[in-house]
Amino acid sequence: MGSLSIWHWLIVLVIVALVFGTKKLRTIGGDLGGAVKGFKEGVKEAEAPANTDRSELPRDHTVEVETKEAPRSAETR
Give residues with Cβ within 8 angstroms of 57, minimum separation 6.
63
Q: Is residue 29 part of a domain?
A: yes
Q: Give start and end residues of each alpha helix (H) in the chain.
A: 6-20, 22-54
- pLDDT, position 62: 72
Tens-digit pLDDT profile for residues 20-75: 888 888 898 899 999 999 999 998 888 776 555 555 655 676 777 888 887 777 66
Whether the pLDDT of residue 9 is over 80: the answer is yes
6 CB-near residues (< 8 Å, 6+ apart):
none
- Residue 68 counted as domain residue: no
Q: Report the interhelical angle of 22-54 vs 6-20 (nearest 10°).
A: 110
Please give the biggest Cα pair distance in the chain.
Answer: 70
What is this structure's pTM? 0.43
Number of structural domains found in the chain: 1
Owning domain of residue 44:
22-50
Q: Return the pLDDT at 61.
A: 66
Residue 15 lies in a domain: no
* 16 belongs to a structural domain: no
